[in-house]
Amino acid sequence: MLQCVFLIIDVELPFLLNFFFSAVTPLYSFSCRLQGQFHLNGMHRSGDVILGGLFQIHFFSSYPDMYFTSKPKEPTCHGFDILGFRKAQTMAFAINEINRNSNLLPNVTLGYSLYDNCLQLGIGFRAALALVSGQEEQVDLPETCVGTPPVSYFATCSCLSDRQKFPSFFRTIPSDSFQVRAVIQILKRFGWTWAGLLISDDDYGLNAARSFQSDLSQSGAGCLAYLEILPWGEDPAELRRIVDVMKKSTARVVIVFAHESHMINIMEEVVRQNVIGLQWIASEAWTSAAVLQTPRLMPYLGGTLGIAIRRGEIPGLREFLLQTHPDLYHNNSFENSMVNLFWEHTFECRFSPPPAGWLEAGGALCTGQEDLEKVETEFLDISDLRPEYNVYKAVYSLAYALHDMLQCESGRGPFSNHSCGSLQRLDKALFLFFLDSTECSSCPEDFWSSPQRDHCVPKITEFLSYDEPLGICLTATSLLGTFICAVVLGIFVHHRQTPIVRANNSELSFQLLLSLKLCFLCSLLFIGRPKLWTCQLRHAAFGISFVLCVSCILVKTMVVLAVFKASKPGGEASLKWFGAVQQRGTVLVLTCVQATICTAWIVSASPAPHKNTQYYNDKIVYECVVGSTVGFSVLLGYIGLLAVLSYLLAFLARNLPDSFNEAKLITFSMLIFCAVWVAFVPAYISSPGKYADAVEVFAILASSFGLLMTLFGPKCYIILIRPEKNTKKAIMGRGTK
């Protein structure tokens, strides 16, 4: 029978394993000899291929001597973890399910060796070595002493993502870097800028703290009031000191990256000192821990926010769990001691021979006939499978990897000379399922990993396109506005001799209509694939067009005020400053100022197309970067200045006689214009990628339509619908004839 061992681990063991193998290589190039037998709690099933698993079956353990002596001390574990045992049973269930599947690994039977790590690296290390060695007295090792690749369902430490140190480590759970960012987003969402951080004294806690501090400082979301390392095991003095720090601190938010056992210990002290009013934020290790969801702790932990592992469903698991039963014939051995421990914990009994004084104290003996369905236990509650689902996926990952290896055709394999792997070369064959290599290479910036993770494919390039519905709507609206401007211009040219056209400064009206037409057309530069010339031209055309438009409105307003002043005795001299030449000159000068701003902006820090990969992992957002935020701000600020000035002058002239009532229209049009662009700034800043361009196009079109409708709508209505009002007497307010 061929036995091949894989490791499925839930604590950060790969570092220790790498250290072990590198340490023994110089001394034992070909074999290792066991110094002693370790009697660990476990479950076993024989098979052609043995999958090994390490699970937290107990919350606590004593500290045995971890040195390799001729008589190593046995670890003492206590505080049975039912959910940890359910994870182990989930692995057994997945293996049984695979063995029944004739389409997956036909003619190969999977077995398992599952051990309790007691949430201690030292004990887990012993269990890992037991899996590697198979408990044989002497073990042959390859010359490189490289172990088989672990697959983890619960090891989240971001340190394990280092492909240089751990080239063959894979997992079915995201690294801590993701939940660190999620916690920071929670802090930002609620405005919590002052928080404390508690961590476990291992790679899980220390790396999470390092990542958290780095990301927190970069995000500017807040600061840490304190950082405390929780002790392993019971250390009353240290726990008292940590809780004292929490009590004295002004920070009411406490973030904890630690294991269930740490939280049990620290919460005992929190309850003892009656520290209430804290907002806890939990890492995935203890978010859903039922052992903490008790009436005694809920007054202190109620309202805790946490990061949970993705939930999944495993059909048939509950029926399998109901079949769990102790092995009465081997209850004194360690072959299936996990089941016996679970049985004793669930039914509060002991197998024979019981501990000394157990029966005298009123304890009962286990018969093995107890009924699981008649006892209340979370062991059978499969409504919230989170780590268990990761275990399930990890087992199937290995099974499919083996299956792919066995399906390999000679001469078409991934190894040297296109050879295939075999069960005898399992240390290499396992890599078939993963990224055909022990190394993981990153795709270029413009590429994304394929669904099979075996080659790089080009990323989708996203921009505001003429082909998508949003781009089509904006393009159609822009062309519609241009067409309406042309129609209005034609109406004014055709009726240029009528009183209403002549009374409203026809030359400036024609210039205003032409500038509005340019405003509508410049929005088209924001649609389509960004190019250097379109990036440079879009904002320049936008800025100059709108300044030309607002300048015409400003001069029209000034002319209204000047004419009214000239109508009063002694005011005739004011008209000489607002003749046709002066009006054209003023518009030209004001527009040239904007042209100068645009030229300086393009020369000093030109807008340019940019491939942004920050918004999405699998897409490239093709956008125009403004080059100089100062240049863009000055351009917008100058338009705003002219618009505000026009609004103020028109507002002052709003109560002039009816013959000068265009001031009211200008006031209303400038109010709409300013409202649109004030709303534009926050919307533009908060919109990602192509939607920023869409927001700017919308602002251009909305403000252009606002000016067109308010300034020319009433006049076109009179010209076309109410021609009886298009007389000198009606305009002067003396009737309609």
Task: Give per-residue pLDDT as tens, 178-220.
Answer: 888 899 999 999 999 999 999 998 888 888 898 898 888 888 8
Q: Are 62 and 190 in a shared domain?
A: no
Task: Please indicate whether residue 517 or residue 56 has the higher confidence score (pLDDT).
Answer: 517
Domain around 709: 469-732
Q: Are 583 and 663 in a shared domain?
A: yes
- In percent, the amount of the chain with pLDDT more than 70 equals 76
Banded model confidence at residue 284, pLDDT cuts 50, 70, 90: confident
Average pLDDT, integer, range 137-165:
55
- In percent, the amount of the chain with pLDDT more than 90 equals 21
CA nearest 332: which of 366, 297, 291? 366
Question: Domain count of the chain?
Answer: 3
Per residue in 702-727, pLDDT (tens digit) is 989 998 998 888 888 888 888 888 77
From 356, 372, 405, give the residue that closes a domain: 405
From 379, 405, 431, give the residue that closes a domain: 405
Per-residue model confidence (pLDDT) at position 74 = 58
Banded model confidence at residue 297, pLDDT cuts 50, 70, 90: very high
Average pLDDT, integer, range 467-488:
92
Q: Are 193 and 131 in a shared domain?
A: no
Pick the range with the lowest mean pLDDT from 20-24, 239-243, 382-386, 596-600.
20-24
* pTM of the entire predicted model: 0.51
Q: What's the chain's Rg over C-alpha atoms? A: 38
**429 domain residue, yes or no:** no
The burial class, CB within 10 Å (0-12 / 13-18 / 19+), for 42 is buried
Q: How far apart are CA 139 and CA 155, in angstroms?
A: 27
Residue with tokens 């009726």: 495
Q: Are 102 and 208 in a shared domain?
A: no
Pick the range with the lowest mean pLDDT from 38-42, 132-136, 565-569.
132-136
DSSP tag of 351? P
The phi, psi pair for 476, rounded to 5°, reads -60, -40
**3 domain residue, yes or no:** no
H-helix segments, 134-231 = 176-190, 203-219
Banded model confidence at residue 305, pLDDT cuts 50, 70, 90: very high
Q: How far apart are CA 145 and CA 671, in angstroms?
A: 78
Instruction: Please list, residue by residue across 517-544, b when 16 or more beta carbons sit within 10 angstroms of its beta carbon and e when fewer do.
Output: bbbbbbbbbbbbebeeebbbbbbbbbbb
DSSP secondary structure of 419-463: PPP-GGGHHHHGGGS----SS--PPPTTEEE-TTSSSEEEPEEE-
625: CATH: 1.20.1070.10
Q: How far apart are CA 438 and CA 168, in angstroms?
A: 5
Per residue in 154-183, pLDDT (tens digit) is 666 666 666 666 666 677 677 777 888 899
Average pLDDT, integer, range 285-297:
86
Per-residue model confidence (pLDDT) at position 130 = 65
**For residue 341, what are its two tokens?**
């421990």
Q: Are 248 and 287 in a shared domain?
A: yes
Q: Are 551 and 671 in a shared domain?
A: yes
Instruction: Please list, residue by residue across 10-33, b when 16 or more beta carbons sit within 10 angstroms of its beta carbon and e when fewer do.
Output: bbbbbbbbbebbeeeeeeeeeebe
For residue 195, give the H/E element and its range: strand 194-200
Could you give the C-alpha distances from 354 to 109, 360, 364, in angstroms and in order? 37, 11, 9
**669 domain residue, yes or no:** yes
Q: Are 545 and 675 in a shared domain?
A: yes
**400 domain residue, yes or no:** yes
For the chain, the first-to-last Cα distance in angstroms comes to: 113
DSSP tag of 355? P
**506 domain residue, yes or no:** yes
Per-residue model confidence (pLDDT) at position 3 = 40
**443 domain residue, yes or no:** no
Banded model confidence at residue 289, pLDDT cuts 50, 70, 90: confident
Q: Are 587 and 490 in a shared domain?
A: yes
94: CATH: 3.40.50.2300
Banded model confidence at residue 9, pLDDT cuts 50, 70, 90: very low
Q: Are 302 and 348 in a shared domain?
A: no
Task: Please indicate whether residue 224 or residue 60 has the higher confidence score (pLDDT).
Answer: 224
Q: Are 251 and 221 in a shared domain?
A: yes
Q: Are 231 and 329 in a shared domain?
A: no
From 276, 306, 336, give the residue that closes a domain: 306
Q: Are 69 and 204 in a shared domain?
A: no
Per-residue model confidence (pLDDT) at position 91 = 92
Banded model confidence at residue 32, pLDDT cuts 50, 70, 90: low
Per-residue model confidence (pLDDT) at position 427 = 42
Banded model confidence at residue 321, pLDDT cuts 50, 70, 90: very high
pLDDT exceeds cutoff 60 at 72: no
**452 domain residue, yes or no:** no
Angle between helices 506-522 and 469-494 (to 10 degrees): 170
**272 domain residue, yes or no:** yes
Q: How far apart are CA 680 and CA 477, in angstroms?
A: 18
Per-residue model confidence (pLDDT) at position 7 = 43
Per residue in 526-584, pLDDT (tens digit) is 898 888 888 888 888 988 999 999 898 888 888 777 767 666 655 555 556 666 778 88
Per-residue model confidence (pLDDT) at position 400 = 87
